[in-house]
Amino acid sequence: RHYLQYDGIKFSFRALLIPPERKSSSSKPSPYDVITYDINYYLVDNTMEVLERHRPNNGRVPYPKLLARMRMPKDYRALLKSSIGSQDEADSRLDQQDSSDYYGPKDLIVGSTLNVLNQSLYIVDCNEGTRQYYKDNYDIIQQDRITTRDERE
């Protein structure tokens, strides 16, 4: 029943990452230092993927997937612990985790920050379908697109 009800429902978000070496720098990061990602969350199986939106001529090699589609633990170290040992042991350790240990739809809010593989992704926007679904089903009103300092200048 769950599969039939939620099949095909995908939430789409836009997120920004500023490389850690630029966060501590006193100089203003250039637009090329900011990496933009698309976060897709699939309600049918509570999985997410994080895809880079590559900008041409930014001096970086495109790396299309920061995260392949999977259930993402809030604490990425759980992934590391689960990868030690046989695949069956790893799967059973991940299955034993409580569902609140994973990112869910209510964690994906415009203006919030996600820790994905020790990278902080700041959610700045979502599409209209996602915005409407959150309003209708969760009584959560997603704020309007957050413009960054680089976009305003």
Mean pLDDT value across residues 97-122? 89
- For residue range 40-74, list pLDDT tens digits in order: 999 999 999 999 998 777 777 777 899 999 999 99
Full set of structural domains in the chain with CATH: 2-72+104-152 (2.30.29.170)
Place of tokens 């392949």: 68
Residues making up the chain, counted from first to last:
153
* Structure tokens, 79: 């992934």
Q: How confident is the model at residue 153 (pLDDT cuts 50, 70, 90)?
A: very low
